Structure 1
Amino acid sequence: MSFELECPIDFKKVNENKVRLTALWVLLVVVLFVYTRWNVLIALLVVDFTYRAFEFDAYSLLNKLSDVVIFLVKIPAKPIDQAPKLFAAKIGLLFTIAILASTYTSYQTTTIVLSGILIFFAFLESFLGFCAGCYVYTFFQKILK
């Protein structure tokens, strides 16, 4: 039995280095949230993921921060298809909404578990260039067929 990934494709390109740097900012913000419990941090991520998930990247604070670092450090662009990253941003949006909801409903264990999962996937993307979105997408495609 073979396993073949079915990643979404839209033939629009984004800079993989920028995506990975943005994932690092997500990781740092969620770690800071876990440490401080400042709900505003997760609320800001909800807004930022919304912008990125629905292609309003120009309004994303984390993307702007990544642009500045890329410009200052002169990190070269590495084109990659944007569709898997949009799908991953939508999953990130769902996670941050769930984290915010669990925080406001005092489900602390759920908040920590969801935050840990988001940290883990942001780490994978940022440091290893591993996008779990394709695996999730493939899983859903197989279920829906």
Structure 2
Amino acid sequence: MPTENKIRITAFLVFILTILYITTHSIWIPLFLLIDFAFRGSGYGKWSILGFLAEKIVSIFNLEQKPIYFPPKQFAAQVGFIFSLTLLVFNLLEINSLIVSGILLICAGLEAFFNFCVGCYVYNAYYHIKNK
């Protein structure tokens, strides 16, 4: 079950991996993120390595496990999948991916440090407009 602290720690791990990608341009980082976001975005979060690590960190430090409303977070993970796929393709085609990785870095940082989920706001705005 996703909790606020687990989500924020997962975002922090994405933040760190994105910084590593920006500095190394290693193709393995967007590939790893792509797979991890695919699990989390498709409802198979139990297979997410980042989610597993975040859960262990929450457990070790006995952090609060406040449940969250999941659909916006799942949507945000699907957006993360698209960003990771874009990074992977740009890397393979040797296209500069600084803007895409910068956006991913900002979104992950906002979630990790300020509990502000950009994808969740997009999700809520979309469904508010759709159901109006």
Taking structure 2 as the reference length, what is the TM-score of the superposition? 0.92
Query: Counterpart amino acid of 2:121?
Result: Y
Q: Which runs of 4+ in 1 moved over 2 A?
A: 137-145
My pick for the range that moved more, 132-141 or 31-40, is: 132-141
Distance across 2 between alignment mates of 1:62 and 1:102: 23
Alignment of 1:1-145 (within 5 A): 14-108=2-96, 111-141=97-127, 142=129
Q: CA deviation at 1:137?
A: 2.3
- Write the distance in 1 (CA, Å) between the matches of 2:77 and 2:18: 15
Aligned-residue sequence identity (percent) comes to 33
Distance 1:78 1:37, change over 3 A: same
C-alpha deviation, 1:103, in angstroms: 1.1
Equivalent pairs counted in the alignment come to 131
| CA distance, structure 2, for counterparts of residue 112 and residue 143 of structure 1 | 33
More strand as a share of residues? 1
Q: Offset of 1:71 from its aligned partner? A: 1.2
Q: Which has the larger helix fraction?
A: 2
Task: Please give the root-mean-square deviation of Cα atoms over the aligned residues, in Å.
Answer: 1.7
- Structure 1: 5+ residue stretches without partners: 1-12
